[in-house]
Amino acid sequence: MILETIDQLRQLTQTDVQIGWVHTGDEIDFNSINLDAWEKGELNEKGYIIWPAGKQVKWLGQKFIIPDHLKGYPLAGLTLRLALTWWAEDAKIFVNNQLVQEGDLFDSSSRILLTSSVQPGEEILVLLRLVSPGHDIGGLMKSRLIYERESNLTVDDDFNTLVIDPGFVADELTILYNYLSAFEPEKLQILNQVINQINWKLVSDASKFDRCLLDLREKILPLANYIKQSSLNLLGHAHLDMAWLWPVNETWDAAQRTFTSVINLQKDFPILIFGHTSPVLYEWIENYRPDLFDKIIQAFKAGKWELLGGMWVEPDVNLVSGESLVRQLLYGQRYFNNKFGEISQVAWLPDSFGFCWQLPQILQQSGIKYFVTGKLHWNATVKFSHGFFKWESPDGTQLLTLVSPPNVAGVMDTNPIIMTNYAIDWAQQTGLKEAFWLPGVGDHGGGPTRDMLAVQKQWQKSPFFPQSQFSKAIDYLNKISHVTEEIPIWKDELYLDFHRGCYTTHADQKWFNRRSEDLLYKAELWSSITTIVLEKTNNCASKKLLEEAWKKVLFNQFHDILPGTSITEVFVQANEDWQQVQAIGQNILNESLEAIASQISLPQPPQANAIPLVVFNSLNWQRSQVVECSKAAENCQVYNLEGHLLTSQLSSENNLLFLAENIPSIGYRVFWLCPGKNLVNNVVLSYPQDYILENQYLKVIINSKTGDIDSIFDKVNQKEVIKGKANQLQIFQDQGQYWDAWNIDPNYNNYPLEGTQLKSIEYLEVGPIQWKIRVIRQFRKSEFCQDYILQIHSKLFKIKTQVNWQETHVLIKASFPLTIANNNTTYEIPFAAIERNNNPETPEEKAKWEVPALRWADISDPSQDYGVSLLNDCKYGYDSQCDRLRLTLLRSPRWPDPECDRGLHHFTYAIYPHQGNWKEAKTVQQGYELNIPLDLVYLPQVSTKSSHKLPSINYFLKFKSDNLILSAFKPSEDNASYWILRCYESEGKIAQMCLENNLNLQLTDSVNLLEEPLAEFSQVDPWKIVSFQGTIIK
């Protein structure tokens, strides 16, 4: 009965006009509009007016004639608004042929002012021009006329009474009813008794009926005590994607409009506090709109602008390396500190597609106190259980984390019922009476609107609405962190149960990202060592270029670029930036390696015309690896320093292959390339009948009919590794998802497609350094060329792949069924590893049927003391069962980029069978070695000058503990005399921080990721990230 009465009250000033629209698909002439000639709009089962996808234009028109009353309530003098919600990539609203507002898919609802004082009989023509999205139907979902008093809850001086209207009171009663139902249901009977006393006979006399409603409000005021114990903390916000369905250049314009709008609104609404992320945006404003930047600084100093996020952009945090996450925060926080005098304490990733488990440690070491995201509301099958919790990373770091409110209406406005419904849900979930709200138009920018602020200001006065005020996020979070006694703890990744296709879509972005991260690591490492070795005072030029390159990488790690979910134009620009990164990084690396090589004092060569060949190792452990030498390969042999001839081989690409053994940690070893002596004989008179690759560790049999792997036999442990067919290319239909580029069909396994057809199989190389078989397979219009590669002294079986991919809505995986089993699979994540369950029991576990990983996944069977790792050099999507690993190779969505992934792809993955578990087998190191091969430098002339001070075998840096992985060696950001060394513990066990070096480097201080001093420590705890500041002792 209560709800029926509230609805009856609301109908006095509000009316649904959805059924009254007429429409045409033709463009119109404003001078000759005849709505009678247009077709009547039809509503679907949801009450929507819809029309086809494909950027189809739909004009909707409706003429409103103001009546004397609604249900008897007089309307004269009231303000009239039209509340609209649409789904269109472009929206234009005309009132009496005048354009009054524009919108799009993101700015998709509004309350349009039709007149500030209605007069009965007045006619108002409203026209809507809506354009359907390219990928989806267009729709007008809601249209409602709202008559209201502009000055609700102000005092009418003529009558010395509050101004009120029935619709406003209906909303107050709705809020009260919802609170009582949730927290004090026993009081609903009192509310029912009071509202039954409304005198409906007075409706036709607005002043008397309003007085009746004021009396009603007085009587039920005691019922609102609980509401007034609650509070809503608002922060103006405008989530702004760096790129998505628009190019980057458009983002700069959107930022200008958004920030200018906020500054102007703060003049009329001084209470407005606004928060925004992304230092890259502020930097652009600073450079191109210094006048606006000055106003932002003034608003910040006045406490009206909050710096959020701390990261250079809002990146994807599943697909990037740990060091990339460090640089996001290092460069982002430094910019904030340099320009505003403080860093952000609130990490803010409202739209990234899941969150890696090490994020709490990385954030806390970067000055972050809290983490905020709202993306977990997007989970498709599992509602995330917490709203405010301590998120604990593998090392034990805990970070207070807030799940921000959901956007349930398309635009987060200040609708009082939506806001209070959320506040009720929040209190029930967390026990907190302090809720948070983020009014503003987002995705494409926009921020709070004037109407949002006016509505909030009005409701701030209502006794049936929680206390509300604008507040910084940091102030709200500080407040609730002290109120809550028992905060739940979450010890896992924050997995998004939705956008799983992002691990694979747009494989070019994934390739560039991995290659660029590794290249910049090497370039910075060797540039730093070069500066020290050559005793330069500094290397400012390289440092500046490396920062420029890093920032390009960080930008392209934005959560709609690296995941592959933007329009074509975005990736054209991104690829240009990636190529610039490659050029910068490769130039610095080459110059650095050549400079170091030039300082090496060489012994006497084995022959007069020998060419010194320096093999560099960029990883912090000694290793051996086959290297390819392309210089004069056909007429050369390789000798070691002792003058011993090494076994070599001419590859199928006419490169000279040899095994470079025992290359020191972060160091090098010199070899000799000798032309014209003991020429390589690469003539193979006959190939084996069967397609078998074999070295001292493995014997691999390839099926001559299918190209699959029939057997991988571990000769040392006398064990067959696979059961059934391995490297079977399993292909599935993957369509029907609204979020095409983002989502894999959850039921894709039910839609297998025909397999590949073998076109050819042939031996390319048969040792003694490398064995290679090439298999070419066809699927429809796509061709897979795979080289099976086994090398001397290697336990790694590589599959080097080239694909000409031409499919649509097809998903392809490489499958490896195993003879071992485990209920868990371990995956590499940024700066750590994570176990995920292969026998899922909880809904959260069952949702993880496709998961992200970096360089490897591993199943190890304790009962057999044996394991298998599946490595990759640029792939990120995996799935597993107890006895099977699969790597997702490619997808082929068609929205928002219709050309997504068409064309050539190059990548390598590898199987690594091993005794023991992944820790004992050093799978972490194997993953790095696959991705960061040894580098070669040719010295043009032999020189034995005494001024050359470096030995012919040398290491520069090495750790005593083999579970420490070097992440960065770089110049200090603030002091050219200092160097920063960063590493992480990679196996979940204690490590001793003992560094040996040949640089005269002395570590002086422990620092955080912002290079600020920390307390000293003697050991590295499991999964800990540690950074040190050091100086060179002369």
Q: Indicate if the pLDDT at residue 689 is higher than 90.
A: no
The closest of 610, 670, 647, 597 to 948, measured between CA atoms, is 597
The closest of 518, 542, 515 to 528, measured between CA atoms, is 542
DSSP letter for 647, please: P
- 915 forms beta bridges with 866
> pLDDT, tens digit, for every residue of 628-652?
998 766 688 999 999 999 999 999 9
Alpha helices in 198-313 (DSSP H): 206-220, 225-228, 248-268, 279-288, 290-301
> pLDDT, tens digit, for every residue of 839-857?
999 999 999 999 999 999 9
Mean pLDDT, all residues of the chain: 95
What confidence category does residue 583 fall into, taking pLDDT thresholds of 50, 70 and 90? very high
Amino acid symbol at 464: F
| Percent of the chain topping pLDDT 90 | 92
Judge whether 976 and 1029 are in contact, CB under 8 Å.
no
Residue with tokens 């795979």: 786
Is the peptide bond preceding residue 896 cis, with omega within 30 degrees of 0?
yes
The closest of 669, 670, 666 to 618, measured between CA atoms, is 666
What confidence category does residue 804 fall into, taking pLDDT thresholds of 50, 70 and 90? very high
What is the separation, in whole angstroms, between the first and last Cα of the chain? 87
CB neighbourhood size of 818 (10 A): 27
- 903 forms beta bridges with 805
Query: Any long-range contacts for 252-257 (C-beta under 8 Å, 24+ apart)?
Result: 252/281, 252/284, 252/288, 254/444, 254/445, 254/446, 255/281, 255/284, 255/285, 255/445, 256/285, 256/289, 256/292, 257/445, 257/446
What confidence category does residue 410 fall into, taking pLDDT thresholds of 50, 70 and 90? confident
Packing angle, helices 188-195 and 206-220, rounded to 10:
160
Judge whether 554 and 576 are in contact, CB under 8 Å.
no
Q: Indicate if the pLDDT at residue 1002 is higher than 90.
A: yes
| pLDDT given at position 482 | 86
> pLDDT, tens digit, for every residue of 866-906?
999 999 999 999 999 999 999 999 999 999 999 999 999 99
Q: Indicate if the pLDDT at residue 192 is higher than 70.
A: yes
Distance between CA atoms of residues 832 and 1022, nearest Å: 10
Distance between CA atoms of residues 887 and 799, nearest Å: 12
Q: Indicate if the pLDDT at residue 82 is higher than 70.
A: yes
Region class of 194: left (phi > 0), else alpha (psi between -120 and 50), else beta: alpha
Q: What is the dihedral sign for C-alpha 442, 447, 450, 456? A: positive
Burial bucket for residue 973 (CB in 10 Å: 0-12, 13-18, 19+): middle
Distance between CA atoms of residues 345 and 369, nearest Å: 5
| pLDDT given at position 941 | 64
Q: Indicate if the pLDDT at residue 158 is higher than 70.
A: no
Cβ contacts of 344 within 8 Å, gap of 6 or more: 307, 308, 309, 310, 332, 333, 336, 367, 368
| pLDDT given at position 944 | 52
CB neighbourhood size of 337 (10 A): 16
Alpha helices in 740-883 (DSSP H): 843-846
Cβ contacts of 596 within 8 Å, gap of 6 or more: 526, 529, 530, 533, 614, 616, 668, 950
Cβ contacts of 1009 within 8 Å, gap of 6 or more: 326, 329, 330, 362, 365, 366, 982, 1025, 1027
Q: What global pTM score does this model have?
A: 0.96
Strands (E), 450-547: 467-470, 489-490
Q: 91-95, 136-140, 442-446: which has the minimum mean pLDDT?
A: 442-446
Please state the separation of Cα 374 from the chain's center in Å. 13
- 789 forms beta bridges with 772, 798
Judge whether 17 and 42 are in contact, CB under 8 Å.
no
User: H/E/C letters for each residue in 52-76?
Assistant: CCCCCEEEEEEEEECCCEECCEECC
Distance between CA atoms of residues 640 and 548, nearest Å: 39
297-329 b/e (C-beta count within 10 Å ≥ 16 → b): bebbeeebbbbbbbbbbbbbbbbbbbbbbbbbb
Copy the structure tokens of residue 721: 């590794």
Distance between CA atoms of residues 1009 and 1028, nearest Å: 9
Cβ contacts of 740 within 8 Å, gap of 6 or more: 135, 893, 894, 895, 896
| pLDDT given at position 156 | 63
> pLDDT, tens digit, for every residue of 436-491?
999 999 878 789 999 999 999 999 999 999 999 999 999 999 999 987 678 999 99
Give one DSSP letter per residue of 505-517, joined into a string: SSHHHHHHHHHHH
Is the peptide bond preceding residue 315 cis, with omega within 30 degrees of 0?
no
Alpha-carbon separation of residue 277 from 130, 282, 306 (angstroms): 31, 9, 9
Q: What is the radius of gyration, based on Cα positions, of the chain?
A: 33
What confidence category does residue 161 fall into, taking pLDDT thresholds of 50, 70 and 90? confident
Q: Indicate if the pLDDT at residue 837 is higher than 80.
A: yes
Give one DSSP letter per residue of 850-894, joined into a string: SEE-SSEEEEEETTTTEEEEEEESS--EEEEETTEEEEEEE----
The closest of 129, 90, 94 to 112, measured between CA atoms, is 94
Copy the structure tokens of residue 311: 């990261």
Distance between CA atoms of residues 107 and 87, nearest Å: 9
Cβ contacts of 747 within 8 Å, gap of 6 or more: none
Q: Indicate if the pLDDT at residue 678 is higher than 80.
A: no
Residue with tokens 């910040």: 300
DSSP letter for 441, please: B
Distance between CA atoms of residues 865 and 854, nearest Å: 24
Cβ contacts of 270 within 8 Å, gap of 6 or more: 304
| Structure-model confidence comparison of residues 152 and 724, the more confident one | 724
Distance between CA atoms of residues 597 and 888, nearest Å: 40
Q: Indicate if the pLDDT at residue 946 is higher than 80.
A: no
Element (H, E) at 100: strand 98-103
| Structure-model confidence comparison of residues 670 and 537, the more confident one | 670
Distance between CA atoms of residues 638 and 557, nearest Å: 42
